[in-house]
Chains A and B, each alone.
Chain A
Amino acid sequence: MSMFRELLNRSRSMVGMTSLIAGLGVMSVLSLARIFAHAPDLTSSGTFGGAIGLATPVAMAGIAGLVSERAGVVNIGLQGMMVLGTWGGGYFGWHYGPWGALLGGAAFGALGGALHALNTIQFGVDHAISGVAINLLAPGVARFLSSIFFQGVDGGSLTDSPPVGNLGKLTMPFLAGGRIGSFSTPDIFGYLERRQIFLISDISGLCGGFLRDIATETVMLLSLIPLAAFVLWKTPFGLRLRSSGEKPSAADSLGVNVVGIRWIALITSGSIAGLGGAWLVINIGKYQQGQEGLRGFLGLASVIFGNWKPFGVFLGALLFQFTESLRMQLGDDPSRGFVFAVAIGLALFAAFQLFRKSKKVGLALIPASVLLFVYILNVDRVDDKLSSTFPFLITLLVLVFSSSRLRPPASIGLPWSRGKDS
């Protein structure tokens, strides 16, 4: 037993070690690209801070998808639940300020989750079909409600809510120069970042991005990610939820109330997606029809990219929104540097595959990286529309090249009812 435990501990620290090395590798490539492409903003704290903010709603959609899929229900309705969340956020934010926006967004998203639960759990409707139905219904509901509550009101219209306040920003003292009372503390990461040292400055930029001028709602919502990881993997409830997604009949035979757990999972899922919508409302300052963009689907992609794990989902969301943040930096557009870094990374990966693993994969990836190099040497700036395809492309690539390493919940998407074995 003790040997088994020791083995387990060792394998765990191995995972930690590999991800640390992988992280350093990625930062080194970025650092090289920053130096060679003369793009200091590529790894600045402003870029990382922006990416973390933009990643928040996507990560919320992703965590929402994770909670639902871990319980065994595919949730394509994330997009619709997010739409409901934006409307709820707009309405309650208008009346009760930004805190009201968060609560209202969660409540409205939960309504979408409950509808999905009713369809899939009670009536056994195909999960994907129910999700599409919610995606089609939600914009209609939001527009109808806007026509009643926002149209004709001062500052409101059929497509916009009156303004919603914001929650202010937070900065960590000592590490990132936050203030304690009227006393301003030193900004250690900021100092290191300005020195432009290989790797050190880039990591300081990343840390600074997390700790400096970060919106309160971002901090609050991102704290749900470790919370989700804790609840799902360290509590009896989490074990029951995950077992409902892996083998519901087995869970049922051990006395787990699968139907009840799935209801809770879907309502939670809907409210988290709704919180993502509320983040958008607070960030933009009001409800705007269509402000969710494709974030619900990006969340879905981040679940796959993150291999159905909370921190993987967050990393996926961060990666997907990184180019978006780069484009918003002032001065020279550093997204060229990023594509340059991706091209370097892809070429390295292709070489690794070619010599060590599968020749076929390596040969398939070489033209892709050549294409990227040709593209980046021929354009002045990366087109934002073109870079918006990047998250979807990379998710497809993950599915194509490493699907054997993905491990989705075993009973995902299968209908289940008590007494019928699945």
Chain B
Amino acid sequence: MRSLSTPLIVIGVAALVASIALLLAGHNPLSAFSAMLDNLSSADNLVTVLNYASRYYVMGVAVAFGFKMNLFNIGTNGQYQVAALFAGALGGWLRLPGPINLILILMVAVGVGSLWAVIPGVLMVSRKVNIVVGTIMMNGIAAGLIGYLLRTNFRDVNDRLTAHTPTIPENSHIPQLNSVLKLIGIHLPDTTSLHGFFVIAVVAGIMFYVVVYRSRFGFDLLASGRNANAARVSGVHPKTMVIRTMALSGGLAGLAGMSVLLCQQFEYGDRFPLQLGFAGISVALLGRNSPIGIAFSATAMAAIEQGSRGLVTANIPQEIGQIVQGTLLVVAVIMYELANRRNQTRMIKESALAMTVETSTS
């Protein structure tokens, strides 16, 4: 019960803030929310929500891996964009038969993403460079490097107007799932498709659960996160843990970008989402870094995004969606912090009680 009340309060406060903002702007909040819900009721919009949610989910898992051992990887934004650029350049150039293309592109994306994350990891363990600062600097370097490569070596020379990598041929796309859905009786209109990336997101979620809660590595990870010194004394090598965790986190960030590259846009360019990596941070925080929680928060973020597109018809600025997302995040981090504190006080009280009972019986 206690674990459920906090998210409900978070949603309530965010809705309240959004309502106040809408009222101040002279709009009716109720009609805004109903317009948002209206826009989520059709099948093709729900599919779009699922598509966005799976991309947010993988990015959220990428950030959560770091958080599990108290590593704040702010660099997912740079990691995913550099990975997508290299994967896009390779995909536009490769002409190998069948699915080999696709596998190679995915491998490059994961590899480049984890390499970009491992650099600040190495600087942290060898030169004590703070991971937050290191990953922010890598984001800045990524932005410049991408701009340069997109204009020079990786540019599609046939398009003189906009800068993007060459278009990826169809046999390297991640196949869509419409035909699979048809087998179980769901018929989607031709205009929409459930991205195959949905399966990757599910697999990533299961992998996240197994690795963190059911493996030796996960045990070491959680131990280092809760008490780094205790973990080190019991034989966990902290430096290797940092490198491995950053590699995993960056690799997943690189993978998340493939949802845009191989399911939607098929080229890396200026139209690529600029903030996906940062969105992953808020998804991970909202979902409290748990595999199920992130699934909920990723779906919520995607639903708000898609729902607010429906506000245009009600003549309400759709930017309110961004305010709801931002407020959700701010309120959530405050509420979770308060809940943490309450838990800690309760635990201290309980252990104190247990100690008095123990001493009185002996």
Is A304 interfacial (CB 8 A cutoff)?
yes
CB of A300, distance to nearest CB on chain B (Å): 7
User: A143-B322, A148-B317 known; A136 and B134 CB under 8 Å?
Assistant: no
CB–CB B333/A294 < 8 A: no
User: Per-residue CB proximity of B138-162 to A under 8 Å, as 1/0?
Assistant: 1111011111100110000000000
Segment among B98-106, B121-129, B219-227 that sits at the interface with chain A: B121-129
B333 CB contact (under 8 Å) in A125, A139, A147: A125
Residues of B within 8 A of A148 (CB): 25, 317
Is A128 interfacial (CB 8 A cutoff)?
yes
CB–CB B132/A76 < 8 A: yes
User: Per-residue CB proximity of B162-206 to A under 8 Å, as 1/0?
Assistant: 000000000000000000000000000000000000000000000
CA distance A143 to B318 in the complex (A): 10
CA distance A403 to B141 in the complex (A): 20
CB–CB A383/B140 < 8 A: no
Is B266 interfacial (CB 8 A cutoff)?
no
User: A297-B136, A389-B140, A392-B141 known; A119 and B282 CB under 8 Å?
Assistant: no
CB–CB A297/B144 < 8 A: no
CB–CB B325/A129 < 8 A: no
Q: Which bucket holds chain B's interface residue count?
A: 35 or more
CB–CB B127/A135 < 8 A: no
User: A129-B333, A141-B326, A294-B143 known; A385 and B136 CB under 8 Å?
Assistant: no
Which residue in chain A gives the minimum CB-CB distance to B329? A133
Is B133 interfacial (CB 8 A cutoff)?
yes
CB of B123, distance to nearest CB on chain A (Å): 6
CB–CB B147/A385 < 8 A: yes
Residues of A within 8 A of B281 (CB): 132, 136
A385 CB contact (under 8 Å) in B144, B334, B338: B144
Which residue in chain A gives the minimum CB-CB distance to B327? A137
User: Per-residue CB proximity of A52-77 to B under 8 Å, as 1/0?
Assistant: 00000000000000000000001010
CB of A167, distance to nearest CB on chain B (Å): 31
User: A76-B136, A399-B133 known; A132 and B143 CB under 8 Å?
Assistant: no
CB–CB A301/B137 < 8 A: yes
User: Per-residue CB proximity of A376-412 to B under 8 Å, as 1/0?
Assistant: 0000000101111101110110011001000000000
Residues of A within 8 A of B322 (CB): 139-141, 143-144
Q: Which bucket holds chain A's interface residue count?
A: 35 or more
The total number of A-B Cβ pairs within 8 Å is 137
User: A115-B330, A124-B337, A388-B143 known; A136 and B72 CB under 8 Å?
Assistant: no
Residues of A within 8 A of B21 (CB): 144
User: A135-B278, A136-B329, A297-B139 known; A123 and B338 CB under 8 Å?
Assistant: yes
CB–CB B132/A141 < 8 A: no
CA distance A141 to B281 in the complex (A): 19
CA distance A111 to B132 in the complex (A): 24
A143 CB contact (under 8 Å) in B145, B319, B333: B319
Residues of A within 8 A of B74 (CB): 76, 128, 132
CA distance A383 to B147 in the complex (A): 10
A119 CB contact (under 8 Å) in B128, B138, B139, B333: B333
Is B285 interfacial (CB 8 A cutoff)?
yes
CB–CB A119/B330 < 8 A: yes
Is A31 interfacial (CB 8 A cutoff)?
no
Which residue in chain B gives the minimum CB-CB distance to A139? B322
B141 CB contact (under 8 Å) in A130, A138, A147, A389: A389
Residues of A within 8 A of B346 (CB): none
* Nearest 10 pairs of A and B residues by beta carbon: A140-B322, A137-B326, A385-B147, A389-B144, A392-B140, A147-B317, A144-B319, A388-B144, A385-B148, A392-B137
